[in-house]
Each structure stands twice: as structure tokens, then as C-alpha cells.
Amino acid sequence: MCGIVGYVGGERCVEVLMEGLRNLEYRGYDSAGLALAGPDGLRTAREVGPLNNLAGTVGQRDGDFFSMRSGVGHTRWATHGRPTEANAHPHTGGGAPVGPEVAVVHNGIIENHAELRDELRARGFEFRSETDTEVIAHLLGEGVAAGSSLKEALVETLQRLQGSFAVAAVSAAEPETVVAARHQSPLVVGLGEGENFLASAVQALLGYTRRFLFVENGEVAVLTGTSVELSTLDGRPVERDPFEVDWSAEAIELGGYEDFMLKEIHEQPAALQATLAGRLDADGSVDLSELGFDLSGIERIDVVACGTAYHAGLLGKSALERLARIPVEVAVASEYRYGDPVGDEKTLVVAISQSGETTDTLAAVEAARGFGARVLAVTNTQGSLITREADAVLLTKAGPEVGVAATKTFLTQVAALYLLSFGVAEARGARPVEEIKEIGRALRRSPEKVEEAIELLGEPGLMSAAVGVFAGARCALFLGRGQSFPVALEGALKLKEISYLPAEGYPAGEMKHGPIALVDEQCPVVAILGEGTLREKTLSNVEETVARGARVIAVANEDDVAAGRIAQSVLPVPNVPQILSPLVSTVPLQFLAYHVAKARGLDVDKPRNLAKSVTVE
């Protein structure tokens, strides 16, 4: 969480920093700030709240502010200290009478900040914020005041820090330079002509460059307008080839949609198409040679993930077990990492992470390494930390996702896991090849079927009727069985994330063992009916809630007549082969959460307290 940017080179410094922050706002929006370096000192601007507040302040600054050629910026997700202006980054250090000022932005957590704070206080430093970051600013300022270059002072400072960080800093003493370093938190360098950039993620800079250099753990980057130098903490130069990303700048614009979440829901057919392309032939055969793995040697699979990715993992388990007949465990990464997991070199650990930088998921990968597992990362972010930790990577090709609530990346994660299940099934000879191919051909139709689901839900009045069921609601219960249970979990998560209504996803059959006590007119039941025997069973459970006064929204096949008899609102999905059912059933739940949140006047793209990338444990 927290986004950092840096720039050095030309006079568009403020523009680049603000645009970079705009594209990183998904990482946190408690406060934002800029610091610019010029020969006669630093200029800073900081504001509490979303970036627009900072933009308003910046807009009132004089021409001098806009003539600076280097600077750093930050958008904050508060960890240490409330979202106040004093706690907003950048934090400054040094300054008269001890020497020139430095300004620092930081993403991560400095674990030994309390000891460092005591030590600095004892040396006469005064603290202006409650943040862990301010110790970095003082240490750096002290080093520069003592005559070190900005880079030297950064290296000396880093040696004092424990924890995770990506930091970037500028100094009035060297206004042509931006320095940065990282340990565990993400950082990339963007390469330009006569200018260079830094950011937490590539999407910050797509409007300016597509050429990037990764900064690895323990490396320091020194940028000027015409050079980028990477080195290790002990001073060894690092040579690294740049890489080019294929995401376009347009992909992170609204393109006429009211919100990114709405845009990203509509992008799902294309995202699925891109994820399947080149991996699933017209005849349904799968090609995962890109993994470079022999999938036949695997005896069990552990899936680790957080949030929405965990729900994708549950659907992956159901496909892997059904098709490949291999035992699969799915674990929340923050539990797995501390859970002393059991496994060996025949265990495949599948780590799912949209961002590829979720701290707990990365730690779960490390835990799996401890027992010799092979690791496959399923991620949407090229070059992210997880791609460098894993033995193999299966990229979901959803394009950048800006809305904090995951939508298109969820569907593509599920599709990627389905591909994996075909690959493992084939390698193990678990099912007749023709049977797997037939399911593969069904999966090839997912873009078209998800498109149909979106169209069906566009019928006038459908969504407003469903939102009407939520009038006066104080909570919601999402029920499903089998594959529809993870869908229920995902539907409940979407609703609570963006509408702030308490929502539970539950296996419909288990509902009688607790959640049924919640049911009354103010606790709508959202039932994902699915098909076959489980549909019948779910319907009976829904009847039980109706008997207790529940108002029901049913996600049902378009020809499911019985659904209309028990539900106040039916959200239809196209009839599809079993494997596609979770994909099409998720779409109405995304729309439902979206419209309920909009009806409550909420910001669906930036829900309170959340961040899209969670880089703290």
C-alpha cells in the first residue's frame, strides 16, 4: 500500500508526479503529497484525503513551483499515525541550521522505528509526525548535513532500517538527482529521454514511458535526467536490461465509463479472451508449455492467496480435484505463512495475486520454499515481485485493473486455474483426453457467455429491482452450493467492500447452523442457484429463509421459472456448461454490489480503508 513516484529531468515534473499519483491512488488515498527540489531549497505540498485535495492546493502554487525539475510524490494508506497533514508524506529532514533539507517518501513499514526515534530524539531531533517514515528523513538529513552525498546518506540510512520499504528522496543540495531503494516493497525505474522516473508500479508512468528497469531487493537507484545507475548496498554496480510492458496508457483511463469498476466489469469478455489466447486451441487442447514444468510429477497442490484471489483459488480447487483428481488445499496466505505447512518437492504451490506484491502471499511462497515445493504464480502484473519469486508464471492478461474491488482479474484468475486443471489432468492421465478437450472447448466460449451475461443484465429495470430489495437493508446473506459457494463468497465480499453493508457468503446447506438467525426483511438473501441437484437443494434452503421473511434476489439461469416464484428479483445468467457457471454467475453479483453502492452515494473505485495492493502483513 502507499504509492510513491519520482521524477527528474524537465519542467513537467509536477505534471508527471501528479499524474503518477493519480494512477497509483488505488494503493491508498488517506493523504497525498509532493516535494520538489531546486537549488534554493525544497517546495512541498501535502493534503489529507484524496488526490483532488492535493491537486487543488498545487493549482494555487506560483510559477516557481512548476519550474522545478526533480521531485517525489506519495499517496498514503495509513499504517503508523492517523491520516493527518502532519503524517502525510513527503517527510523532510535536515534543514537550517544543520544543512540542506531532504524530502523522503516511503512505502512499507520500518519495524525498528521506535528505537531509531528514541536515538534521534536523544541527539536533539524533533519529530513532527507519528509516522515510522520520519526517522528516515532525519537520518538522511543528518547524513547530508554531515557532508555525505544523497546516495551515500541513503546507503548509510538503509543500513539502520529493519522492515520493508521502497523509499525515494530528493535533496536541495543535489537538485538534479533523485535517489531510491527498496527492500520487499515494489519499485520500478521508468526510462525516458532527458528525463527519468520512479514509481511503485508501472501503471503510474504508462503515459510517459513503457520502458522500465526493476529495482531488486537491496538495490539503490540514482537517477538524473540523463542517467540511471543501479547498485547494491555495498556499492557494486548492477547491470540490468530494461523491459517493455505491453499495457497501454488508454487502459488506465475511464474511456467514457462513470467508474473504473464499471469499465472493468465490461472488459471481462476481452480479459478472458486475452488470458485464453495461445493457451487453449479451437479443439479444446491446452498448451501450458510456457510454464516449463513437468506437471505429471505433482502429487498435491496448495493454493495460497488473499481476498478475491482466494475465492478464485477455491474455484480452482474444485476444477483441479474434479478434472485432475489431485488433492488440493486452498489457504488464506496470512494463515498459511504461519501455519507450518506440510509438503515436499512433489507439492505444487500455486500463489494467486493480481498485483503480485501482496506481502502475505509472498511470505506464503517463502514458507513453501522451506519444504522444497515448486511454485507457480498466477498474477496479472508483469515483472511483479511474485514473478521473480516463483519457478513459473501464468499471467492473467486482464490489463491493468484500477478499481479497488477486483472484477476482471477474478474472472481471469479462475480461467487461468481452469487451464491449469486441464494441464494437470492431461499430465496425470486423470480423464480421457477427449473429455478434457470438450470442457476446454466450453471454456473457449467464456468470453462470449460473459458478454451475454452482461447484456442480459442490461435489460431495463432488472438491476433497479434488485437494488430495491436492498432498500433499508442492514446486512445480506449470499448462499450457494458447490461451485456457487465461492461465487457467494465473492459476491458478499464485493458488496461489503464497496457498499459497507455487512454481508456473509455461506454454503446454502450450512446456513441453518447460524446465519439463518440473521434473516428478516432487512437482511436480503442473494441465492446463486446454479443447476442440477444442487440447484434443487439451494432452492429448498432459500424457501426456508423466505418462510422467515427474507427478501430474495436469485441468480438463476434465464429459463429458470421456479426462481421467479420465490425471489423478489431474478438476475438471469445464460445457460452454460458447468465449468462456466461460476464465471457467468459472478457478473450479476458485481453489478449488484456496484449499483447498491452507487445508490448509497459511495465511491465504488476507492472504498474507505481499503487499498488494492496490500504490502503490509
Note whether 209 binds ligand G6P by CB under 6 A.
no
CB 176 within 8 A of CB 8: yes
Q: How many CA atoms lie within 13 A of 104 on its CB side?
A: 32
309 binds ligand G6P (CB under 6 A): yes
Least Å distance, CB 166 to ligand G6P, is 16
Point out which span in 93-101, 164-172, 225-233, 304-312 binds ligand G6P (CB under 6 A): 304-312
Q: Are strands 347-353 and 552-557 parallel, antiparallel or unpaired?
A: unpaired
> What is the Cα Rg of the chain in Å?
25
Please tell me whether residue 358 binds ligand G6P under the rule CB under 6 A.
Answer: yes
- Quick one: how far is CA 286 from the chain centroid? 27
Which of residues 158 and 202 has its CB atom nearest to ligand G6P in the complex?
A: 202
Total site size for ligand G6P, rule CB under 6 A: 15
> Under a CB-based contact definition with an 8 Å cutoff, are residues 265 and 408 in contact?
yes
Catalytic, 612? Answer yes
The one among 87, 308, 483, 538 contacting ligand G6P by CB under 6 A = 308
Cα 354 to the chain's mean position, in Å?
A: 5
* Inter-CA distances, 386 with 301, 305, 401, 402, 460, Å: 18, 12, 17, 19, 43
CB of 607 to ligand G6P, least distance (A): 8
**Bridge-based pairing state of the strands 99-110 and 41-48:** unpaired
Choice between 13 and 352, CB closer to ligand G6P: 352
Using the rule CB under 6 A, is 355 a contact of ligand G6P?
yes
446 belongs to the binding site for ligand G6P (CB under 6 A): no
Q: How far is the CB of 14 from ligand G6P (least distance, A)?
A: 29
Select the span of 64-72, 76-84, 93-101, 302-310 touching ligand G6P (CB under 6 A).
Answer: 302-310
Q: How far apart are CA 181 and CA 197, in angstroms?
A: 13
Amino acid at 275: T
Distance between CA atoms of 572 and 551, rounded to whole angstroms? 17
Q: In terms of CB distance, is 208 or 418 closer to ligand G6P?
A: 418
Residue 612 touches ligand G6P, criterion: CB under 6 A: yes
State the DSSP H helix or E strand holding residue 449, giving kind and residue range, or none if neither: helix 446-457
List the one residue from 23, 133, 185, 361 that touches ligand G6P (CB under 6 A): 361
Q: Left, alpha or beta for 194 (phi > 0: left; psi -120 to 50: alpha)?
A: left
Q: Cβ closer to ligand G6P: 31 or 354?
A: 354
The three-state secondary structure class of 332 is: strand
Q: Beta partners for 395? A: 379
- What's the min distance (Å) between Cβ of 205 and ligand G6P? 19
Closest residue to ligand G6P: CB criterion: 307
Q: Which of 353, 484, 541, 557 binds ligand G6P (CB under 6 A)?
A: 353
Q: Which of residues 364-423 bind ligand G6P (CB under 6 A)?
A: 404, 406
Q: Which span (105-113, 197-205, 582-590, 609-617) binds ligand G6P, by CB under 6 A?
A: 609-617
Q: Which stretch binds ligand G6P (CB under 6 A): 57-65, 199-207, 303-311, 506-514?
A: 303-311
DSSP track, 170-218: EETTSTT-EEEEEEBS--EEEE-SS-EEEESSGGGSTTT-SEEEE--TT
The set of residues, in sequence order, having a beta carbon less than 8 Å from that of 541 and lying 6+ positions away, is: 479, 508, 509, 511, 512, 527
Residue 2 annotated to the active site: yes
Is residue 334 a contact residue for ligand G6P (CB under 6 A)?
no
Q: Are 27 and 43 in contact (CB under 8 A)?
A: no
* Binder of ligand G6P out of 93, 307, 383, 480 (CB under 6 A): 307
Residue of 2, 13, 306, 523 with catalytic role? 2
Q: Per the residue annotation, which of 151, 494, 606, 612 is the catalytic one?
A: 612
| Site residues (vs ligand G6P, CB under 6 A) | 306-309, 353-355, 358, 361, 404, 406, 610, 612-614
Q: Give catalytic residues, as residue numbers.
A: 2, 612
